[in-house]
Amino acid sequence: AETERDAENLLLTRNGGALMMLNRYPYTSGHLMVAPRRHTAGFAELKPDEGADLQALLQLGVRALTAVYGPEGFNIGANLGEAAGAGIAEHLHFHIVPRWCGDTNFMSAVGGARVLPECLDETHARLAEAVKGLLAEQTK
């Protein structure tokens, strides 16, 4: 609810039932997460309007990432439950990870480290501007 802290919290946008934010520990630049505003772990328990709001932000995220970074593909998914690898098992969220051919290199595969070409503040500024523009186009 504190919109003045959106940049600090890496929040890009919200709609009636969902939020879109940067992942604080990204796999690639632009790694986004979309989550319902209501605290729930259960995908099957989402109300139809919450599911529609999640879908709308997933699509918006793909469009914003395409506009800003021009990825060659995306991984979109959710880890449902601790056994499936959910880092925050008690709150459902989806990941949107932009991908490029050859983007998995020796650093992550062998060194166990991630290398990002820009800091999260810059990523947030770039994507926030793109999201704002795309939302303005939708209301025309």
Q: Active-site positions?
A: 93
65 close to 127: Cβ distance less than 8 angstroms: yes
DSSP at 30: T
How far apart are the C-alpha atoms of 76 and 73, rounded to whole Å? 10
How far apart are the C-alpha atoms of 58 and 20, rounded to whole Å? 8
The label of the residue with tokens 């929040």 reads 11
Closest to 74 in 3D by CA, of 38, 12, 30, 20: 30
